[in-house]
């Protein structure tokens, strides 16, 4: 039996928990980014979710929040979760998982994936509502809400079937803003996004 110093063991354990936490939220992460990557398809669904309605004379959400984004984000969340369920049969991926994907909600259900995907885009839409009400322009930086809106929504919706530990939630709230900012900057320089934030 190989001896591992206590501090190194703690660091390794924390590192594994970080990776597991990010893997758990992967359907939400990819669902949140999918509307930007799918902006050139399914044009017939590119209709504003708020249908032009206003509140206090201001748009509810704005023209950037479309049914295409909602539907694609939900589908992406389900597809990624379905992949995770399939991969869970292999010991390597079981090591990376904080949940038993074979038993989460039910053996054949992809509902948690839908909840993570739809929850992510729902959180983004709630943020957009408040941005409009506070006269923050679409695409204008609104830290930290731009970075955690989808995370709050995803965690809120998936809590109907699974509630992560407080350690996992803390890790996600610390790392998600960093991941969000980094990925948006990369997408901006690749000319996928129009804004860095």
Task: Find the helix packing angle between 145-158 and 166-189, rounded to 10°.
Answer: 130
pLDDT in tens, 24-61: 999 999 999 888 777 777 777 778 888 877 888 788 88
Indicate the pTM of the whole model: 0.84
Check residues 194 and 115 and name the one with the higher pLDDT. 115
> 1 pLDDT band (50/70/90 cuts)?
very low
Pick the range with the lowest mean pLDDT from 48-52, 79-83, 93-97, 167-171: 48-52
Furthest-apart CA atoms within the chain: distance in Å: 69
Cβ atoms of 59 and 132 closer than 8 Å? yes
Predicted confidence (pLDDT) at residue 5 exceeds the cutoff of 80: no
Check residues 90 and 146 and name the one with the higher pLDDT. 90
């Amino acid at each position: 039996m190989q001896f591992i110093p206590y501090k190194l063991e703690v660091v390794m354990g924390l590192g594994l928990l970080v990776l597991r936490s990010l893997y758990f939220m992967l359907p939400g992460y990819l669902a949140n980014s999918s509307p930007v990557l799918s902006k050139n398809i399914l044009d017939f669904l590119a209709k504003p979710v708020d249908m032009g309605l206003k509140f206090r004379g201001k748009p509810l959400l704005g023209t950037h929040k479309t049914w295409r984004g909602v539907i694609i984000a939900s589908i992406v969340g389900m597809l990624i979760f379905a992949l995770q369920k399939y991969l869970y049969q292999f010991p390597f991926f079981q090591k990376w998982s904080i949940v038993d994907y074979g038993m989460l909600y039910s053996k054949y259900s992809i509902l948690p994936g839908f909840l993570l995907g739809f929850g992510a885009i729902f959180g983004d839409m709630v943020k957009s509502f408040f941005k409009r009400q506070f006269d923050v322009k679409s695409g204008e930086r609104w830290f930290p809400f731009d970075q955690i809106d989808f995370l709050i929504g995803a965690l809120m919706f998936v809590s109907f079937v699974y509630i992560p530990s407080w350690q996992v939630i803390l890790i996600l709230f610390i790392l998600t803003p960093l991941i969000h900012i980094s990925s948006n900057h990369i997408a901006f320089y690749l000319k996928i996004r129009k804004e860095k934030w």
